[in-house]
Structure 1
Amino acid sequence: MQIDVIETTGLGDRSYLVSEAGTGIVIDPQRDIDRVQALAAERGVTVTHVLETHVHNDYVTGGLELARVTGAAYLVPAGDDVAYERVPAADGDVHAAGPLRITVLHTPGHTHHHVSYALAGADGEVQAVFTGGSMLYGSTGRTDLLGSQHTDTLTHAQFHSVRRLAAELPAGTAVFPSHGFGSFCAATPTSGTSSTIAEQRSVNPALTQDEQTFVDELIAGLGAYPAYYAHMGPINAAGPAPVDLSTPRAVDAQELATRLAAGEWVVDLRSRTAFAAGHLPGALNFELSASFLTYLGWLYDWDAPLTLIGEDEQQVAEARRELVRIGVDRLAGKAVGTPEELVTDQQPASYPVTDFAGLAAQLAEHPDTVVLDARRDDERVSGGVRGSLHLPIHELRNRIDELPAGEVWVYCGSGYRASIAASLLARAGRRPVLVDRGYGDPDAGSAAVGLHAQPVTR
């Protein structure tokens, strides 16, 4: 049995291809199934089964389309109400896939009908379990995505589901979760990139804590999650349309200017320092990196016209692929080139970039400088720049008016969210200064220059 991991780093998720004797099994595939198809061809396997552990809340599945184009059996949890034909995956069901045997285990918690899949070879010995959003590496899937009225019930269920896996599966069983590699679907930070049932018995809080302690701590630790999650479950239950990775329509400088003047979403994909040095007035900066999809999806007005600006065609194509993973399919257009090439009768706009040493020098000379912390609440509680104001990036658009007039120096945990915040401030007519380092980064210098305060209460 060969197990290939298909990483989707922008979402913090993993899909899997299991290969054995010409048979392929795919678990929790992402929307862009060409990656899976290429890997199956490389392994020389025919995909006979596509397995979903749950109706996903953080991405649009590629499972339905993959099953259609390959003719594979499509297993979806039996309890989920979906609008397409599938093979209901019910607790205790066993499915044959060539020499492999797939056993369905009902593991509610992340969702009510969540299942895990244990895979055994021809000898009947379980070798791997695919746990979706149930047992993660040193953690579990979060339990609040279906609404607060379900959170307590699902958290108790999550505890028992993880315990069931630990009790019923051999110690040496390899564990393969779909979430937990930066995904907001994890209840708490995960640890490691591989594990076994035996290891989880000693490190997973559902297996080391009593039930009420586990429930209390998990619920207390739940923070904000991306707003686009609200759209994922309904899309996946209805059945996603086939993926479209075609190139968006080209937009010229005059049309860009019209869209910017209308306040439309025009997103510049270039690096945050390049954007700060020169950009189209009114454009927003979502640097194409591992954080791009999470934060554009979080802040984006769902179904609003979206135009992309890239350095080259490849950058736009990469962003297009990322966006279809969360169902942003209809792009209003794209433009490629430098700000100087794309601007009309205006000059490119810009704003300063500094670091924490520069911020410290500014505060020493001008202690009334407005400093904005764009991190989440759970990050802020452990400390922040003394005297800074706190507006999480996902709240900033609706709360910019709360900031005092004048220049705003903005920071976050890496510089990425600060760059988004700076572009939002600039679009609103404010004068931002981007602190392009991460607060708390040992090399960032925030503590060394005397900016650190702990705890922060404002």
Structure 2
Amino acid sequence: MKIEQIYTGCLAHAAYYLESKGEAAIFDPLREVEPYIARAKKDRATIKYVFETHFHADFVSGHLDLKKKTGAEIVFGPTAKPGYEATVAKDNQIFKVGDYQVKVIHTPGHTMESTTYLLLDENGKEHGLITGDTLFIGDVGRPDLDQHVVSELTEEKLAGYLFDSLRNKIMPLDDNLIVYPNHGAGSACGKMMSKETTDTLGHQKKVNYALRPDMTKDEFIKELLTGLTAPPGYFPQ
């Protein structure tokens, strides 16, 4: 499968480029979109989709600029309410990029619209997961950001949603899947992310504290909320 991680170290941010048969998709682009456009031109590919795993708090996304410059369709996961033209996908909806498939898996918790995208190759084989801020390498997304925008969403409620998303949507998937997260060590979106920027899901099940199989929901919530520092002041904006 032709997928590339485009990592920006100063933001500890990972965007992704997917290409098949002259069609491309960008996941979680930064505001500076020329590198993505140039990458697609190198393959003589047309950017068909811009997939957003969630509304980002730590950077301004380039999705609107990519749509304007390339005509790409912006896709968000379920429950998203964008104030501009975009597709709000349904859970389990399939999008085609050339011979590849991108399956929507709604994984609320970090935010309510947070979505993981399951990538399937030209043979229909599951290859990897673009997890956004739902699952990092060594950590999971902090659940205290949406409450600054929607008051009734307490961090405890969001942490409970994240527990269910991880247990019911992510952990049952194949151990051989590659996890492609939105951030690495240094980001304020988690508290103990690894310096590694990809891993297998099976290895994360063994080493990621938040995926411990015998952890109860109450234990998960307590452990996840312990040690969180205050988010940067601009995040709610």
Task: Please report the TM-score for the alignment, with normalisation by the length of structure 2.
Answer: 0.91
Alpha-carbon distance change, 191 to 163 in structure 1, aligned in 2, over 3 angstroms: farther
Contact 2:107 2:113 in 1 (8 A): yes
Larger Rg: 1
Which of 204, 212, 220 is the matching residue for 2:218? 212
Q: CA deviation at 1:163?
A: 2.1
SS of the equivalent of 1:59 reads coil
The aligned amino acid for 1:147 is Q
Contact 1:141 1:179 in 2 (8 A): no
Contact 2:119 2:127 in 1 (8 A): yes
What is the correspondence of 1:410-421 to structure 2 with a 5 Å cutoff?
A: none
1:228 aligns with 2:234: yes
Deviations 1:111-163 (A, max 9, x none): 01111110101211110110000011010011101227520011111122122
Q: Distance in 1 between matches of 2:21 and 2:176?
A: 23
Q: Distance in 1 between matches of 2:191 and 2:169?
A: 18
Q: CA deviation at 1:15?
A: 0.4
Alpha-carbon distance change, 165 to 199 in structure 1, aligned in 2, over 3 angstroms: farther
The residue number in structure 2 matching 1:164 is 168
Q: Distance in 2 between matches of 1:204 and 1:46?
A: 37
More contact order relative to length (CA 8 Å, sep ≥ 6): 2
The residue number in structure 2 matching 1:18 is 18
1:192 aligns with 2:211: no
Q: CA deviation at 1:191?
A: 4.8
1:178 aligns with 2:182: yes
Q: Distance in 2 between matches of 1:189 and 1:79?
A: 27
- Matched-pair identity in %: 32
What is the correspondence of 1:360-371 to structure 2 with a 5 Å cutoff?
A: none
Contact 1:126 1:173 in 2 (8 A): yes
The residue number in structure 2 matching 1:9 is 9
Q: Distance in 2 between matches of 1:154 and 1:53?
A: 16
SS of the equivalent of 1:139 reads coil
Structure 1 runs not aligned, ≥5 long? 232-458
1:154 aligns with 2:154: no
In terms of fraction of residues, the more helix-rich structure is 1
SS of the equivalent of 2:154 reads helix
Question: How many pairs are equivalent?
Answer: 231
Alpha-carbon distance change, 187 to 165 in structure 1, aligned in 2, over 3 angstroms: farther
What is the correspondence of 1:5-404 to structure 2 with a 5 Å cutoff?
A: 5-147=5-147, 149-208=153-212, 209-231=215-237
SS of the equivalent of 2:111 reads coil
Q: Distance in 2 between matches of 1:221 and 1:191?
A: 19
Contact 2:48 2:73 in 1 (8 A): yes
Q: Distance in 2 between matches of 1:24 and 1:125?
A: 19
Deviations 1:287-325 (A, max 9, x none): xxxxxxxxxxxxxxxxxxxxxxxxxxxxxxxxxxxxxxx
